[in-house]
Amino acid sequence: MISKKDVQYIAHLSRIHLQESEAEKLTHDLEGILGYIEKLNKLDVSQVKPTSHVLPIENVFRQDIVRPSLNPKDIMKFSVENDGRGSFKVPQVIE
Amino acid sequence: MKLNELTAHEILDGLQAKTITAQAVTACVKEVIQAQDKKIHAYAHTDDAAIAPDAAMAGKYPIPIAIKDNICIKDYPTTCSSHILKGFRPPYDATVVRKLREAGLIFLGHANMDEFAFGSSTESSCYGVTKNPWNLACVPGGSSGGSAAAVAGNEAIWALGSDTGGSIRQPASFCGVVGLKPTYGRVSRYGLIAFASSLDQIGPITKDVTDCAILLNLIAGHDELDSTSANVPVPDFTQSLKKDVKDLKIGIPKEYFIEGVDAEVKQSVLEAINNLKAQGASFVEISLPHTEYAVATYYILATAEASSNLARFDGVQYGLRCQPEQQRRTPIIDLYEETRHQGFGAEAKRRIMLGTYSLSSGYYDAYYLKAQKVRTLIKQDFDEAFKACDAIITPTAPTTAFKLGEKTSDPLSMYLSDIYTISVNLAGIPALSLPCGFAKNGLPIGLQIMGKPFDEEMLFRIGYTYEQSTDWHKRRAVL
């Protein structure tokens, strides 16, 4: 149903590197869980509307007025790596 | 009774009568943490005096509280008990933390939890397992196992947990304490590190129902920083403790008392039902026909939302950053993939992968969309059931606390331990768990009361009436 190759592909979509042994274990685990989930196929839901949220959700607006926000210094205090001028440092992104 | 064994309302009475001081209570709780937490391991972090300034003692509610490790406390380690957030200290307070500060609570530290709240046993924390104060060979439940164990082990008077599929109620049941999952939207989620945004809710874990109502009073209410918090009136929940259960109609779902439920658990819940009958409530059998689909639906929706929410932990901003020894892809992709490889534990990887799979091209309709549709059916079951009753009573969990390690190698059996709590989150309704007995092995049994949306008052009313005619809530674990 789900192969180790599929698992490695999903791992890449998830941006998680997997060791071979992890991929093997996950293939087995996901197969079991997806097998259990199959039981939903017993239900005919073709006429049912999906629920993404239980409360009636609407856009929330506020007046466009200035209010206090976090201090950039506080935000950077526990960053992994920053340039001291309010930006996070990362390896080269564009070749 | 020792000061750390008191409830908050007893402490507040004692403060008013000047028979005890807030300083003495806090000192006693902290001493007990020092002396015995190595046995239970309820806490992930306690080692910072900065969060309990003496000035706070002057507040109206100087109650020592444990906060789950996924609720942000400004400048205090907040890590979801995950390697990937080690060292992270948030630059702001969660709204619930701000409210508790204003009320004068004493923060004891962050309670241990399953990594990112992924679990039902508190065995997946990067800090190690938490143990059940009633039997150290058993799990405390999860994912708010540290919060429940702290209260049950008298290492906190109160605790906050979070509940996505039962993570407050199931550990409350396993640890013999009271836990409430409020209605979705009742309590602000601002500053709660998100697991599944359409299901998560913060709630109280306390020693009795009265304390639960007092603590909900302090944290409930609309918050403009959480656009999913509901703008509805907040009653004084302690007022509902004054009402009895005469003329109430309580539903018993036939789907919850079938095979799989432990005989002693079933017996205790039936005795609680008889107790409430004797006090004037009437009972009616109801049906929640889609109950058997709840776990499957939940594990699609919750993991899909989690895979999206946890995308932010990528080594760029906070916490852990790792780079593989040899380049595999591009430097930035390698940084993401290696950080998440080393930073996430096995269960976090499993859930992110499952969620990514059900959202991926070609599988979305078959899994994610289908689960959203089944969620509609589960919600409709409750809408229909509540036409015939004021509340619903079930066991909180099918068994008492299981042994450490018993379910760690079989994720599916772990997921099924939440079978009675998950539907509540899918429907967005409130539910209370409170002690209703002890099994022969000495472990607590929990009773679950489910209510209509925003009708926590009904849960307190029924829960308090039952509690006052028993003494389960007065028993304390002896370590």
Closest CA in chain A for residue B223: A60
Give the CATH number of the domain where residue A26 resides.
1.10.20
Q: Which residues pair with B115 in a beta bridge?
A: none
Please check the confidence at residue B259 and state whether its pLDDT lies above 90. Answer: no
Given CB atoms, is B184 within the 8 Å cutoff of chain A? yes
Segment 229-268 of chain B within 8 Å of chain A by CB: 230
Q: Would you list the domain boundaries of chain B?
A: 3-243+395-474
In a domain, A36, yes or no: yes
Q: What is the mean pLDDT of residues B122-149?
A: 98
Under 8 Å between Cβ of B115 and B80: yes
Is pTM beyond 0.90? Reply is yes
- In this predicted structure, the answer to whether residue B102 has a pLDDT above a threshold of 80 is yes
The residue with tokens 């007893």 is B10
Please judge whether A13 and B356 are an interchain contact, meaning their C-beta atoms are less than 8 angstroms apart.
Answer: yes
**Band (B228; pLDDT cuts 50, 70, 90):** very high
pLDDT of residue B51 exceeding 90? no
* Residue B19: per-residue pLDDT: 97
Which token pair is B273?
């039902």
- Please answer yes or no on whether B228 and A57 come within 8 Å at the CB atom: yes
Whether complex ipTM tops 0.90: yes
Q: Residue B57: is its pLDDT beyond 90?
A: no
Contact A17 B89 (CB under 8 A): no
Locate the chain A residue with the closest alpha carbon to B369. A50
Q: How far away is chain B from the Cα of A32, in angstroms, using its nearest Cα?
A: 7
Range of the domain at A18: 4-42
Is residue B178 within 8 Å of residue B210, measured between CB atoms? no
- Give the residue numbers of B annotated as catalytic, written as ranges: 68, 143, 167
pLDDT value at position A61? 86
User: What is the distance between the alpha carbons of residues B15 and B82, in angstroms, rounded to a whole number?
Assistant: 39
CATH number given to B3-243+395-474: 3.90.1300.10
Residue A19 lies inside a defined structural domain of this protein: yes
Is A73 a member of any domain? no
Average pLDDT over residues B140-145: 98
Per residue in B345-390, pLDDT tens?
Answer: 999 999 999 999 999 999 999 999 999 999 999 999 999 999 999 9
Residue A29 included in any domain: yes
Q: What is the 3-state secondary structure (H, E, C) of chain B?
A: CCHHHCCHHHHHHHHHCCCCCHHHHHHHHHHHHHHHHHHHCCEEECCCHHHCCHHHHHCCCCCEEEEECCECCCCCCCCCCCHHHCCCCCCCCCHHHHHHHHHCCEEEEEECCCHHHCCCCCCCCCCCCCCECCECCECCCCCCHHHHHHHHCCCCCEEEEECCCCCCHHHHHHHCCEEEECCCCCECCCCECCCCCCCCCEEEEECCHHHHHHHHHHHECCCCCCCCCCCCCCCCHHHHHHCCCCCCEEEEEHHHCCCCCCHHHHHHHHHHHHHHHHCCCEEEEECCCCHHHHHHHHHHHHHHHHHHHHHHCCCCCECCCCCCCCCCCCHHHHHHHHHHHHHCCHHHHHHHHHHHHHHCCCCCHHHHHHHHHHHHHHHHHHHHHCCCCCEEEEECCCCCCCECCCCCCCHHHHHHHHCCCHHHHHHCCCEEEEEEEECCCCCEEEEEEEECCCCHHHHHHHHHHHHHCCCHHHCCCCC
- Asked whether residue A79 is assigned to any structural domain, the reply reads no
Is any Cβ of chain A less than 8 angstroms from the Cβ of B293?
Answer: yes
Task: Give B67's strand partners.
Answer: B110, B160
The tally of domains found in chain A comes to 1
For chain B, give the percent of residues with pLDDT over 90.
94
Q: What is the pLDDT of residue B260?
A: 81
Tens of pLDDT, residues B415-451: 988 999 999 999 999 999 999 999 999 999 999 999 9
Over the stretch B171-213, which tens digit does the pLDDT of each residue have?
Answer: 999 999 999 999 999 999 999 999 999 999 999 999 999 999 9
Higher pLDDT, B451 or B479: B451
Going residue by residue through chain A, which has 95 residues, state the pLDDT in tens, using 9 for 90 and above: 799 999 999 999 999 999 999 999 999 999 999 999 999 999 999 999 999 988 877 788 889 999 888 888 888 988 999 999 889 999 988 87
In this prediction, residue B58 has a pLDDT band, given cuts at 50, 70 and 90, of low
